[in-house]
Structure 1
Amino acid sequence: MSGAAAEPWSTVRGLVDWLDAENGGGPQETAMRLMKLGEEAGEAMAAYIGLIGQNPRKGRTHEREDVADELCDVIVTAMVALHSFADDPAGHFAGKLRRIAERADAARGSSSP
Protein backbone atom coordinates (compact mmCIF):
# COMPACT_ATOMS: atom_id res chain seq x y z
CA MET A 1 0.00 0.00 0.00
CA SER A 2 1.21 3.48 -0.72
CA GLY A 3 0.07 7.07 -0.69
CA ALA A 4 -3.17 8.23 0.86
CA ALA A 5 -4.64 4.72 1.08
CA ALA A 6 -1.78 3.56 3.32
CA GLU A 7 -1.91 6.60 5.61
CA PRO A 8 -4.90 5.54 7.74
CA TRP A 9 -3.30 2.16 8.42
CA SER A 10 0.03 3.77 9.29
CA THR A 11 -1.72 6.10 11.72
CA VAL A 12 -3.69 3.24 13.25
CA ARG A 13 -0.47 1.20 13.60
CA GLY A 14 0.90 4.10 15.64
CA LEU A 15 -2.21 4.07 17.82
CA VAL A 16 -1.88 0.31 18.34
CA ASP A 17 1.79 0.71 19.29
CA TRP A 18 0.87 3.44 21.78
CA LEU A 19 -1.95 1.36 23.30
CA ASP A 20 0.30 -1.69 23.51
CA ALA A 21 2.96 0.35 25.33
CA GLU A 22 0.42 1.85 27.74
CA ASN A 23 -1.89 -1.13 28.31
CA GLY A 24 0.12 -4.19 27.33
CA GLY A 25 -1.33 -7.04 25.35
CA GLY A 26 -2.95 -10.37 25.86
CA PRO A 27 -6.53 -11.58 26.08
CA GLN A 28 -7.63 -8.92 28.60
CA GLU A 29 -6.48 -6.05 26.36
CA THR A 30 -8.03 -7.70 23.30
CA ALA A 31 -11.33 -7.94 25.16
CA MET A 32 -11.08 -4.30 26.22
CA ARG A 33 -10.55 -3.21 22.62
CA LEU A 34 -13.60 -5.16 21.51
CA MET A 35 -15.65 -3.65 24.34
CA LYS A 36 -14.44 -0.20 23.28
CA LEU A 37 -15.84 -0.94 19.83
CA GLY A 38 -19.25 -1.63 21.39
CA GLU A 39 -19.03 1.59 23.40
CA GLU A 40 -18.23 3.63 20.28
CA ALA A 41 -21.12 2.03 18.39
CA GLY A 42 -23.42 3.01 21.26
CA GLU A 43 -22.19 6.58 21.05
CA ALA A 44 -22.97 6.63 17.32
CA MET A 45 -26.49 5.41 18.06
CA ALA A 46 -26.92 8.00 20.80
CA ALA A 47 -25.81 10.74 18.44
CA TYR A 48 -28.37 9.59 15.88
CA ILE A 49 -31.11 9.56 18.52
CA GLY A 50 -30.08 13.12 19.35
CA LEU A 51 -30.07 14.06 15.68
CA ILE A 52 -33.64 12.98 15.10
CA GLY A 53 -34.87 14.15 18.51
CA GLN A 54 -36.18 10.72 19.47
CA ASN A 55 -36.00 11.54 23.19
CA PRO A 56 -38.78 14.09 23.78
CA ARG A 57 -37.27 15.15 27.09
CA LYS A 58 -34.01 16.18 25.43
CA GLY A 59 -35.15 17.10 21.92
CA ARG A 60 -32.58 17.56 19.16
CA THR A 61 -29.14 17.46 20.71
CA HIS A 62 -26.86 16.45 17.83
CA GLU A 63 -26.07 17.37 14.24
CA ARG A 64 -25.24 15.15 11.25
CA GLU A 65 -21.56 15.95 11.78
CA ASP A 66 -21.77 14.52 15.31
CA VAL A 67 -23.08 11.23 13.91
CA ALA A 68 -20.36 11.24 11.26
CA ASP A 69 -17.70 11.85 13.92
CA GLU A 70 -19.01 8.98 16.04
CA LEU A 71 -19.06 6.67 13.01
CA CYS A 72 -15.42 7.59 12.37
CA ASP A 73 -14.65 6.65 15.99
CA VAL A 74 -16.30 3.26 15.35
CA ILE A 75 -14.20 2.73 12.22
CA VAL A 76 -10.91 3.68 13.89
CA THR A 77 -11.69 1.55 16.94
CA ALA A 78 -12.48 -1.42 14.70
CA MET A 79 -9.23 -0.86 12.79
CA VAL A 80 -7.32 -0.88 16.09
CA ALA A 81 -9.09 -4.06 17.23
CA LEU A 82 -8.43 -5.75 13.88
CA HIS A 83 -4.70 -5.65 14.68
CA SER A 84 -5.38 -8.24 17.41
CA PHE A 85 -6.80 -10.73 14.90
CA ALA A 86 -4.91 -10.26 11.64
CA ASP A 87 -1.17 -10.26 10.94
CA ASP A 88 -1.82 -7.91 8.02
CA PRO A 89 -4.90 -5.90 9.05
CA ALA A 90 -4.85 -3.65 5.99
CA GLY A 91 -4.58 -6.62 3.65
CA HIS A 92 -7.23 -8.54 5.53
CA PHE A 93 -9.61 -5.59 5.36
CA ALA A 94 -8.93 -5.07 1.65
CA GLY A 95 -9.65 -8.75 0.96
CA LYS A 96 -12.86 -8.69 2.98
CA LEU A 97 -14.04 -5.51 1.28
CA ARG A 98 -13.34 -7.09 -2.11
CA ARG A 99 -15.38 -10.19 -1.17
CA ILE A 100 -18.27 -8.03 0.02
CA ALA A 101 -18.18 -6.07 -3.25
CA GLU A 102 -18.14 -9.33 -5.25
CA ARG A 103 -21.22 -10.58 -3.36
CA ALA A 104 -22.98 -7.27 -3.96
CA ASP A 105 -22.09 -7.41 -7.65
CA ALA A 106 -23.41 -10.97 -7.86
CA ALA A 107 -26.63 -9.96 -6.09
CA ARG A 108 -27.13 -7.04 -8.45
CA GLY A 109 -26.53 -9.34 -11.41
CA SER A 110 -29.03 -11.91 -10.16
CA SER A 111 -31.72 -9.28 -9.71
CA SER A 112 -31.36 -7.87 -13.22
CA PRO A 113 -34.16 -8.64 -15.69
Structure 2
Amino acid sequence: MGTATIQVRVLAVAGTRVWVAASGTLCVPTLRTMHYSLCARIVDERTQFYLDLNQVRRDDALSPAELPRLLPDGRRLRFHIVGAEPATAAALKADARCRAYPDVASAWENWSGQP
Protein backbone atom coordinates (compact mmCIF):
# COMPACT_ATOMS: atom_id res chain seq x y z
CA MET A 1 0.00 0.00 0.00
CA GLY A 2 1.41 3.38 -1.02
CA THR A 3 1.32 6.71 0.73
CA ALA A 4 -1.64 8.92 -0.16
CA THR A 5 -0.70 12.33 -1.52
CA ILE A 6 -2.59 15.42 -2.52
CA GLN A 7 -1.36 18.42 -4.48
CA VAL A 8 -3.09 21.78 -4.16
CA ARG A 9 -2.21 24.66 -6.46
CA VAL A 10 -3.66 28.06 -7.29
CA LEU A 11 -4.53 28.42 -10.97
CA ALA A 12 -6.11 31.88 -11.00
CA VAL A 13 -6.83 34.88 -8.79
CA ALA A 14 -9.20 37.70 -9.71
CA GLY A 15 -10.83 40.11 -7.31
CA THR A 16 -12.46 38.13 -4.53
CA ARG A 17 -12.02 34.80 -6.36
CA VAL A 18 -9.35 32.12 -6.17
CA TRP A 19 -9.36 29.02 -8.40
CA VAL A 20 -7.65 26.14 -6.62
CA ALA A 21 -7.05 22.79 -8.31
CA ALA A 22 -6.27 19.64 -6.40
CA SER A 23 -5.09 16.22 -7.50
CA GLY A 24 -4.44 13.01 -5.65
CA THR A 25 -6.20 10.96 -3.01
CA LEU A 26 -8.47 12.52 -0.43
CA CYS A 27 -8.19 10.55 2.81
CA VAL A 28 -8.04 11.54 6.49
CA PRO A 29 -4.41 12.84 6.42
CA THR A 30 -4.75 14.61 3.05
CA LEU A 31 -8.12 16.10 4.04
CA ARG A 32 -6.32 17.85 6.90
CA THR A 33 -3.50 18.97 4.57
CA MET A 34 -5.93 20.39 2.02
CA HIS A 35 -7.94 22.14 4.75
CA TYR A 36 -4.80 23.91 6.03
CA SER A 37 -3.81 24.79 2.47
CA LEU A 38 -7.17 26.49 1.94
CA CYS A 39 -6.95 28.26 5.31
CA ALA A 40 -3.57 29.69 4.31
CA ARG A 41 -5.14 31.29 1.24
CA ILE A 42 -7.89 33.11 3.10
CA VAL A 43 -7.28 36.83 3.30
CA ASP A 44 -9.73 39.71 3.64
CA GLU A 45 -10.20 40.21 -0.07
CA ARG A 46 -10.39 36.50 -1.00
CA THR A 47 -13.83 35.13 -0.15
CA GLN A 48 -14.77 32.88 -3.09
CA PHE A 49 -12.94 29.63 -3.63
CA TYR A 50 -13.40 27.55 -6.76
CA LEU A 51 -12.23 24.09 -5.71
CA ASP A 52 -11.46 22.06 -8.82
CA LEU A 53 -11.64 18.44 -7.66
CA ASN A 54 -11.68 16.78 -11.09
CA GLN A 55 -8.40 14.99 -10.37
CA VAL A 56 -9.22 13.99 -6.79
CA ARG A 57 -10.25 10.50 -5.77
CA ARG A 58 -11.82 9.97 -2.36
CA ASP A 59 -10.40 7.03 -0.44
CA ASP A 60 -13.15 4.58 0.55
CA ALA A 61 -12.03 4.82 4.19
CA LEU A 62 -12.97 8.53 4.23
CA SER A 63 -16.70 8.73 4.79
CA PRO A 64 -18.71 11.45 3.06
CA ALA A 65 -19.76 12.65 6.53
CA GLU A 66 -16.14 13.73 7.18
CA LEU A 67 -15.86 15.82 3.98
CA PRO A 68 -17.26 19.09 5.42
CA ARG A 69 -14.10 19.25 7.57
CA LEU A 70 -12.29 20.11 4.34
CA LEU A 71 -13.76 23.61 4.29
CA PRO A 72 -12.42 26.44 6.45
CA ASP A 73 -14.82 28.22 8.80
CA GLY A 74 -16.19 31.62 7.91
CA ARG A 75 -19.68 32.83 7.06
CA ARG A 76 -18.34 35.24 4.44
CA LEU A 77 -16.61 32.44 2.51
CA ARG A 78 -18.18 30.78 -0.54
CA PHE A 79 -17.02 27.53 -2.08
CA HIS A 80 -17.64 26.55 -5.69
CA ILE A 81 -17.05 22.80 -5.93
CA VAL A 82 -15.98 21.84 -9.46
CA GLY A 83 -16.11 18.33 -10.92
CA ALA A 84 -16.22 16.38 -7.67
CA GLU A 85 -17.35 12.77 -7.50
CA PRO A 86 -21.12 12.64 -6.81
CA ALA A 87 -20.80 11.52 -3.16
CA THR A 88 -18.17 14.19 -2.49
CA ALA A 89 -20.24 16.93 -4.16
CA ALA A 90 -23.38 15.89 -2.25
CA ALA A 91 -21.57 15.93 1.10
CA LEU A 92 -20.07 19.37 0.48
CA LYS A 93 -23.32 20.84 -0.89
CA ALA A 94 -24.89 20.20 2.53
CA ASP A 95 -22.92 23.30 3.58
CA ALA A 96 -24.99 26.35 2.58
CA ARG A 97 -21.78 28.15 1.54
CA CYS A 98 -21.22 25.64 -1.28
CA ARG A 99 -22.40 25.43 -4.85
CA ALA A 100 -21.46 22.48 -7.04
CA TYR A 101 -20.67 22.47 -10.74
CA PRO A 102 -20.48 19.25 -12.76
CA ASP A 103 -17.60 20.47 -14.93
CA VAL A 104 -15.03 23.19 -15.47
CA ALA A 105 -17.02 24.84 -18.27
CA SER A 106 -20.04 25.62 -16.09
CA ALA A 107 -17.87 26.84 -13.22
CA TRP A 108 -15.80 28.99 -15.59
CA GLU A 109 -18.98 30.55 -16.96
CA ASN A 110 -19.90 31.62 -13.42
CA TRP A 111 -16.33 32.82 -12.71
CA SER A 112 -16.23 34.88 -15.93
CA GLY A 113 -19.56 36.54 -15.29
CA GLN A 114 -18.39 38.17 -12.07
CA PRO A 115 -16.74 41.58 -11.80
TM-score interval (norm. to shorter) = under 0.3
More helix by share: 1
More strand by share: 2
Q: Structure 1 length as normaliser, TM-score?
A: 0.27
Q: Which has the higher contact order (CA 8 A, sep 6+)?
A: 1
Larger gyration radius, structure 1 or structure 2:
1
